[in-house]
Chain A
């Protein structure tokens, strides 16, 4: 396994270098032959070369802060147009969780959302194939074929998914949502496809520096991979062997 990974790494480095050379070739001053790296072209499919992940440093996460939650709501349009559902029923793509160690009284705060598992149980149990994992590791619900059975909600150990109980109006263009379907964090797939990072990561102020880092877990040179290599990161319920893409430090 490690031998294979090394082979991939060197191949990727070689490809990366040659891409940089090609990108430097100009037709005329100011016009590049290739668009800069990161953003995929529109007609290119997501690839398993990437595996998008989020690293959350709980030491930097302020317990009074919910900027990641509100940023997610603004971007994806949830949390304001479900007027008939009660608080148990309302969608919750990302939530802040407070932890307290009863022995020491030590308190921690951290955001929890879909953990984008490598082996997602929600995908295993879905009877229609609506619950799916993209090649780049982002776990999504295809609402076109979701029948609203909610097996995935029962299968998810992170309580990451919500069901829409009522007709909605005023959905965001980037995040279609509707009655009778299940939904969850999409890792802001629309932003990722455009070369950006999720709204929560972008909005996170942190205490002294950001508490959230987004990046490609497969790319050894990405900030997230470097941080994970240096400081390590924990998976919530690692014992389940789901290998989530969202990792935590300080828990």
Chain B
């Protein structure tokens, strides 16, 4: 094989190498849950690129100044995008089917909003949190009513609470 033929074939090989990762990626693209409404509050390319800035701006306005407009509110994202699927199940944040974690899992970007915020929209988050009761977990027994006094706190600490 002459050197000329190799050089002539190089662009072809390069093109093939470049196309390889692109073609494999196309199939794995995240399937984002569709929203309830007709359109997002911003164009798709804007919201994809800048949603974190919009949310951050809104969070400071809301918490520090008491401005509670709904356009860029985290809860409104959830209200529209976190909906039950055909079987009536709602994906929670630890599942890649949850609207936020779909892309965040794909892009491997850690998301810590939901360490504090509820991952369910307000309209679905009315029921109080219930955890599993086990013989070891007598938490409910000691917390039937909140510890209202120092005495009660001490009683709970000493295991004397009913």
Contact = CB atoms under 8 A, between A and B. Distances in A.
A142 B63 contact: yes
Interface of B: 59-61, 63-70, 75, 115-118, 120-122, 125, 128-131, 137, 139, 142-143, 145-151, 153, 156-157
A80 B143 contact: yes
B65 A45 contact: yes
Contacts of B63: 140, 142, 144
B116 A193 contact: no
Contacts of B64: 132, 134, 142
Interface of B is mostly: loop
A86 B118 contact: no
Interface of A is mostly: loop
Interface string A103-144: 000000000000000000000000000001011100010111
Given A69-B146, A70-B146, A171-B117, A77 B65 contact: no
A144 B128 CA distance: 24
B149 A173 contact: no
B148 A69 contact: yes
Given A70-B146, A169-B129, A189 B66 contact: yes
A65 B59 CA distance: 36
Interface of A: 40, 42-46, 66, 69-70, 73-74, 77, 79-81, 83, 86-88, 90, 92, 95-98, 132, 134-136, 140, 142-144, 167-174, 176-179, 181, 189, 193
16 contacts: A42-B67, A44-B67, A46-B65, A69-B148, A70-B146, A81-B131, A83-B139, A95-B148, A135-B66, A140-B63, A142-B63, A144-B60, A171-B129, A173-B75, A176-B118, A178-B115
B67 A87 contact: no
A66 B148 contact: yes
Contacts of A90: 147
The residue among A86, A87, A96, A168 with the most chain B CB atoms within 10 A of its own CB is: A87
